[in-house]
């Protein structure tokens, strides 16, 4: 069936919208993709809602968060209509939308995760059955609620030599390990682009370190790096997950702009190396997706610290910008078919389980 997936990440740069054809199992065919950037005003509104949500001991509504949710719904509905127009596909021909929404707080340790965006609203605005709230059931069952992409990664690597690992470098990094026996292990590795982006924005006003140029011009402060790596998260066994705001740029304060960028980039690379030590076997390939694959300085550092040559997902014919959105389309189809989207080895749930709330038109 045809399915649309929508992803708005913690980097708050915009919406990824993907159209695929899939059976929710072995068959996947990418059809179209569109990135829809947020305006500066929208980014500020979403950042403010996130900052507010992080002060709460449990999810609860406030005028600012309600307004942010309405913004998310409007922006995603527009992205769907533009994607359909680009692809020349009618809404009536699409079976389902996988609507991740916007994470404003992720607190599985407290028994909750919070993604704003209404599946009912999006279903009405698009005329397409929508699956939303894809993480909450997992957390309620005792899981981490993240990462959810491993089931899609496993479909993509079905024909590759195993073991293999897929590393997604978004605001937070996560890794999926697929063993020779098909076993799945996945967890968040640490901050991927999140701290680097925050540092560059604070130092220069830019949104990210384009081509890793600032980090390439700097020197890694090993003292700061060692201190940042001295965190219990990295020694904890999987499954485990992070909120983007679990780590901050404060340890790098006082460094020159380039040195801070280099140190935080090295921190991301070192967390990937730490993650590999938690896997049952060393992967034959380390395939990299997400925005971080565009940062050659980060990829070089990952290669140096892991001893593996990172392989950009695009070289395998995948769209590394679209993978998360495609994954939520894939999971939405699985939800309609009653198939699991999270597993003991990926989120820590007691047994493989489906997820998501279905909003029918």
Same domain assignment for residues 109 and 29? yes
CATH code for position 37? 3.30.420.40
229-238 confidence digits (pLDDT tens):
999 999 999 9
**C-beta separation of 132 from 96 below 8 A:** no
**C-beta separation of 282 from 162 below 8 A:** no
Same domain assignment for residues 158 and 142? no
Where are any strands of DSSP class E within the chain?
A: 2-8, 14-22, 28-37, 96-107, 112-116, 130-132, 164-169, 172-178, 184-191, 285-289, 310-312, 357-359
- Mean pLDDT over 241-255 rounds to 93
Counted residue by residue, the chain has a size of: 361
| Cα atoms in the Cβ-side hemisphere of radius 13 Å centred on 137 | 18
pLDDT band with cut points at 50, 70 and 90 for residue 289? very high
Same domain assignment for residues 112 and 160? no
Domain extent, residue 232, equals 150-316
Same domain assignment for residues 61 and 81? yes
| Percent of the chain that is helix, strand, coil (3-state, to 5) | 45, 20, 35
Checking if the pLDDT of 10 tops 90, the result is no
**C-beta separation of 16 from 33 below 8 A:** yes
Same domain assignment for residues 156 and 132? no
Same domain assignment for residues 140 and 163? no
Same domain assignment for residues 197 and 60? no
Same domain assignment for residues 173 and 307? yes
- Mean pLDDT over 298-309 rounds to 98
Where are any strands of DSSP class E within 109-163?
A: 112-116, 130-132
**C-beta separation of 136 from 152 below 8 A:** no
At 11 the pLDDT is 84
Same domain assignment for residues 194 and 302? yes
Same domain assignment for residues 24 and 122? yes
Checking if the pLDDT of 245 tops 90, the result is no
Count how many domains the chain has: 2
Same domain assignment for residues 64 and 124? yes
Q: What percentage of the chain carries pLDDT values higher than 90? A: 97
- Mean pLDDT over 105-123 rounds to 96
pLDDT band with cut points at 50, 70 and 90 for residue 243? confident
155-206 confidence digits (pLDDT tens):
999 999 999 999 999 989 999 999 999 999 999 999 999 999 999 999 999 9
Instruction: For the chain, give the mean pLDDT.
Output: 96
Q: What percentage of the chain carries pLDDT values higher than 70? A: 100
**C-beta separation of 327 from 148 below 8 A:** yes
Of 69-83, 233-247, 305-319, 345-359, the least confident = 233-247
At 99 the pLDDT is 98
137-167 confidence digits (pLDDT tens):
999 999 999 999 999 999 999 999 999 999 9
Instruction: Dump the DSSP string for 200-231.
Output: HHHHHS-SS-GGGHHHHTS---HHHHHHHH--
Same domain assignment for residues 241 and 141? no
């Amino acid at each position: 069936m045809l399915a649309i997936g929508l992803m708005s990440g913690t980097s708050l740069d915009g919406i990824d919208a993907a159209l695929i054809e899939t059976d929710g199992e072995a068959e996947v065919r990418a059809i179209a993709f569109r990135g829809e950037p947020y305006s500066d005003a929208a980014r500020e509104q979403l950042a403010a809602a996130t900052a507010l949500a992080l002060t709460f001991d449990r999810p609860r509504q406030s005028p600012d968060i309600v307004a942010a949710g309405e913004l998310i719904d409007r922006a995603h509905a527009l992205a769907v209509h533009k994607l359909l127009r680009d692809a020349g596909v009618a809404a009536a021909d699409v079976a389902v939308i996988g609507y991740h929404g916007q994470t404003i707080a992720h607190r599985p340790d407290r028994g909750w995760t919070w993604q704003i965006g209404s599946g009912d609203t999006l279903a009405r605005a698009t005329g397409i059955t929508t699956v939303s709230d894809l993480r909450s059931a997992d957390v309620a069952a005792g899981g981490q609620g993240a990462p959810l992409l491993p089931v899609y990664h496993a479909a993509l690597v079905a024909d590759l030599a195993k073991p293999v690992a897929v590393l997604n470098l978004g605001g937070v990094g996560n890794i999926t390990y697929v063993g020779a026996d098909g076993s799945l292990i996945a967890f968040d590795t640490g901050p991927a682009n999140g701290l680097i982006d925050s540092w560059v924005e604070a130092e220069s006003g830019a949104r990210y370190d384009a081509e890793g140029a600032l980090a390439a011009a700097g020197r890694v402060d090993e003292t700061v790096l060692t201190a940042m790596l001295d965190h219990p998260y990295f020694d904890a066994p999987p499954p485990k997950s992070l909120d983007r705001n679990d780590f901050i740029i404060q340890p790098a304060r006082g460094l020159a702009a380039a040195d801070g960028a280099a140190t935080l980039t090295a921190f991301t690379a070192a967390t990937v190396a730490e993650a590999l030590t938690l896997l049952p076997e060393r992967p034959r390939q380390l395939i990299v997706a997400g925005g971080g694959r565009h940062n050659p300085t980060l990829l070089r550092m990952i290669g140096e610290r892991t001893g593996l040559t990172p392989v950009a997902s695009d070289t395998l014919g995948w769209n590394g910008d679209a993978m998360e959105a495609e994954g939520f389309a894939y999971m939405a189809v699985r939800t309609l078919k009653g198939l699991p989207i999270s597993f003991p080895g990926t989120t820590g749930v007691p047994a493989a389980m489906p997820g998501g709330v279905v909003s029918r038109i």
